[in-house]
Amino acid sequence: MQVAVIKYNAGNVQSVLFALERLGANAVLTDDIETISNADKVIFPGQGEASTAMMYLKEKKLDKLIPSLKQPFFGVCLGQQLLCDYSEENDTPCLGVFPVKVKKFLPESYVEFKVPHVGWNNLINLKTPLLEGLDEESYVYYVHSFFCEISDFTIAQTHYIHDFAALMHRDNFYAMQAHPEKSGKVGERILENFLLKT
């Protein structure tokens, strides 16, 4: 199985590559259209800022490629947000795979809630196949200041200041706000499910 990990100058890519290596996946970091198109699975990870990331994707013509892909595709963290219609981060039109808006956390209390949201939160209302074998209330690790609204495409949700979409699924596209590569056995199972069950 050949896994393409999309390169677009976003952070946190190396830890995803290490996690895939631990699972025995043959993964390559690339922004090459042909390599991505021919991969068996595609992972779109990253930490960073939405408008800068979209600018890079447009330069490489990946903004046209990504929505057209037919193989299983997994967006992680910023990768999840960029798959949506629009992000409030610098007023950024995104890839439009999910008809969902990405909103900024507005803390009700800076004493109780900090932005960015950093730390462990549970997953509730889990749906398969990406979450097969996981228990309700499984915990995963988050680092983010923006969140995806809950929609018909939400397959797990969590709460921090607001309820939001922890994971989403539409056709061959899957997406996760938290970092599976930093989420211990739960995150490893999610990655493994993506590789083996989708």
The question of whether 77 is a catalytic residue gets the answer: yes
Q: Choose the catalytic residue: 144, 148, 179, 192.
A: 179
Q: Choose the catalytic residue: 89, 148, 181, 192.
A: 181
Helices (H), the chain: 13-22, 33-38, 50-59, 62-68, 78-82, 184-197
Mapped onto helix, strand or coil, the DSSP state of residue 96 is: coil
Q: Choose the catalytic residue: 77, 84, 94, 148.
A: 77
As to burial, measured by CB atoms within 10 angstroms (0-12 exposed, 13-18 middle, 19+ buried), residue 84 is buried
Q: Confirm if 165 and 148 have CB atoms less than 8 A apart.
A: yes
The question of whether 181 is a catalytic residue gets the answer: yes
Q: Confirm if 67 and 97 have CB atoms less than 8 A apart.
A: yes
The question of whether 179 is a catalytic residue gets the answer: yes
Catalytic center residues: 77, 179, 181
